[in-house]
Structures are given as C-alpha cells and as structure tokens.
Amino acid sequence: MNFFIVDDSTAIRAMLSDIIESEKLGTVVGEATDGVEVTYEQLHNKEIDFLLIDLLMPERDGIETIREINPQFTGRIIMISQIVPKDMVAEAYLLGINHFITKPINKYEFISVIKNETKHYLQEKSLLKIQQSLLSLTHHHYEVNKAKILEPTPDSHLSILINSGKNLLMELGIVGENGYYELLEIIEYLFHKENNTESRFQFPSLKELFEKIAGEHCKASNREKICIKKEAKASEQRVRRAIQHALNNLASLGLTDYANPIFESYASSFFDFTQVRMKMLELEGKETNLAPLRLNIKKFIEALYIEAKKSMIE
C-alpha cells in the first residue's frame, strides 16, 4: 500500500510514517504540510492507495482538499484531527472519507483501522477487476454468469453492515465522538460471532464485547491482560459518552420537531422512551421527580446492530 500524509505538524507526519513502516502497513511515498500542496494528478502519479489528511490546516483544510480531488481519487481517505466540529465531520463522510481518527492518535487504533481498510480496499479492487473483465465478454455470456460472479460474499455483507452503522451513527449525531470507532468494532465483532455460531445466536455480555475489542488493540502489548482490562474499561466509558451524546441529540430533535423522522424512528428503539422524555424535560429546564437517568448501553448496541443488519436484506 502506498501512503500520502498531509498534516501541518512535522511530529504527526513523522509518527504516522514510523508506524506505517515499522508495522509493515505499506510505504509512505509522499508528504505535504497543507492541503493546497495536494492535487489529484500528484496522487495518481504516485499511485496512492491511502491518503491520510488533517482536517484543519492553515491554507486549505481537509474538506476542501477532498472536494478538490474527488471524484477522481479512488483510494482510501483517512481524516485526522484533534478538533472535531460535528458539521465538518458529517460533511467529510458525505464527501467520501472512509474513517475519522481523533488526535492524540492511538497507535493500536490506527493500526487496526489501516488493516481493516486495506482488507476492504483490496476486496473492492478485486471486484472492480472482475467487473472490468466482464466488459470484455459477450453480452450473452455476461448476462448468464454475472449473478454468480457478483454474488455477495460474507465480506461484502460486512462492508454493507459497517457502512450502514456509520450512517446510523451519523443520523444520531455522534460521528467523530469518542466511542464512535468502538461501536463500529462492536458491530464487526457481532457480525463474525453470529456467522460463526452454529446454534441460535445469543447477544454477548457487555464485558465480552469490550474485552474482545480491547484485545485487538492490546495484541502488541507486553502486558496484554492488564492492557485489555484497562482498555476495556476506557472503551466502555467512551461508548457511554457517545451514547449520552446521542440521547441529547435525539431529545433536542424531539423538542424542535416531535414528528422528526429520526426522532420517531430511534427514540424508542435505541433508548427507553422514558429516558428520552426525561432528557427533553431536562433540556427545557423542568424538574422531574424521577430517578436520575441510567443509560442502557446494551439496548443501544443491540438496536444499532439490528438496524444496521436491515441494510443487508433491504
């Protein structure tokens, strides 16, 4: 994989290059200190597979740079930033970025993201080659065989599932929040667990979920067990905060427009509606005699997985 890094921080560029080279993720074949230095022709000539780009830069930010090179650039785009304005993150995903990583960069998260995106990128390129080869066949031969050749594989199902999960989290207003990537990793883990279970699938405990995704981040640690315990707890806290943001966003939508389709669809499926109503009263500054809100993390994750799976059968 060929990487191109765009960031106005020399330290960030050096750190990313070191991780990519030391972990054998690919080769860094180009760098830039600002988006204004990046063109599609430059990326094309260097045969760039991965563009790692900062969101906020002095002359031309990551959003404008991506807009400039799209739709010609077909590689993976990973956006990186410490400051995460939600509207800019949402716009970045709409423009086609594949992942958003927040600073300070977690080495193990970065490695996991790059490995997953590399796998999906290679699958897409393989499928594209198949499609291109089909164009050289006769029309009759193509019509007879295309259904078999392009039949969805488990990996393509996973890609659809993850993209659906991203869209759901965007609608809930938590793209780029701490906990966002953990939720996507949980979706992927549940997908593999369900497809590798011969008997009736049972939703795992929260402890299992967070320890499994923590285990992926701690594989290279010298003290793996301690790392897993610590990272699992941190992941749960990040997910809890992300879910809290989703609750706040839904409650705000309900106050603005009770008939809002997102509010109607998700207020009772992702949360207990009593919680949403309490949050709405809280935002209005009204006091209630009910007990303090206690988030049901498992209900939210189950709803997220079920809603994401619907895209695979629609």
Higher pLDDT, 176 or 118: 118
Residue 172 domain flag: yes
Domain termination residue (choose one: 105, 135, 169): 105
Q: Do residues 169 and 299 share a domain? A: yes
Q: What is the pLDDT of residues 132-180, one digit of tens each?
A: 554 444 344 434 343 433 344 456 778 888 888 888 888 888 876 678 8
Query: Could you give the CA distance from residue 262 to residue 251 in angstroms, rounded to a whole number?
Result: 11
* In the predicted structure, residue 15 carries a pLDDT above the cut 90: yes
Q: Do residues 86 and 158 share a domain? A: no
Instruction: Please state, rounded to an integer, the average pLDDT across all residues of the chain.
Output: 82
Cβ burial of 253 (10 Å; 0-12, 13-18, 19+) is: buried
Q: Do residues 79 and 184 share a domain? A: no
Query: Could you give the CA distance from residue 150 to residue 79 in angstroms, rounded to a whole number?
Result: 31
Considering 117-126, 187-196, 214-223, the range whose residues carry the highest mean pLDDT is: 187-196
Q: What is the pLDDT of residues 259-275, one digit of tens each?
A: 888 888 888 899 888 88
Domain termination residue (choose one: 74, 105, 136): 105
Higher pLDDT, 31 or 245: 31
Q: Do residues 159 and 22 share a domain? A: no
Q: Do residues 189 and 74 share a domain? A: no
Residue 256 domain flag: yes
Q: What pLDDT, on the 0 to 100 scale, is given for residue 183?
A: 92
Tell me the mean pLDDT in the region 106-131. Answer: 79
Residue 214 domain flag: yes
* In the predicted structure, residue 1 carries a pLDDT above the cut 50: yes
The domain containing residue 73 runs over which residues? Answer: 2-105
Q: Do residues 180 and 252 share a domain? A: yes
Considering 23-32, 123-132, 214-223, 252-261, the range whose residues carry the highest mean pLDDT is: 23-32
Q: Do residues 164 and 240 share a domain? A: yes
Residue 130 domain flag: no
What six digits make up the tokens of 154? Answer: 């488990």
Q: Which residues pair with 79 in a beta bridge?
A: 53, 100
Q: Do residues 101 and 159 share a domain? A: no
Residue 148 domain flag: no
Residue 123 domain flag: no
Q: What is the pLDDT of residues 218-243, one digit of tens each?
A: 776 667 788 888 888 888 888 988 89
Q: Do residues 83 and 203 share a domain? A: no
* In the predicted structure, residue 77 carries a pLDDT above the cut 90: yes
Higher pLDDT, 221 or 99: 99
Q: Do residues 250 and 162 share a domain? A: yes
Q: What pLDDT, on the 0 to 100 scale, is given for residue 290?
A: 54
Please state the domain count of the chain.
2
Query: 100 — phi, psi (to 5°)?
Result: -125, 125
Residue 132 domain flag: no
Kindly report the CATH number assigned to the domain that includes residue 76.
3.40.50.2300
Q: What pLDDT, on the 0 to 100 scale, is given for residue 3?
A: 97
Tell me the mean pLDDT in the region 46-61. Answer: 93
Domain termination residue (choose one: 105, 125, 143): 105
pTM, entire model: 0.51
Q: Do residues 186 and 263 share a domain? A: yes
Residue 141 domain flag: no
Considering 97-101, 122-126, 137-141, 280-284, the range whose residues carry the highest mean pLDDT is: 97-101
Query: Could you give the CA distance from residue 46 to residue 125 in angstroms, rounded to a whole number?
Result: 17
Q: Do residues 195 and 292 share a domain? A: yes
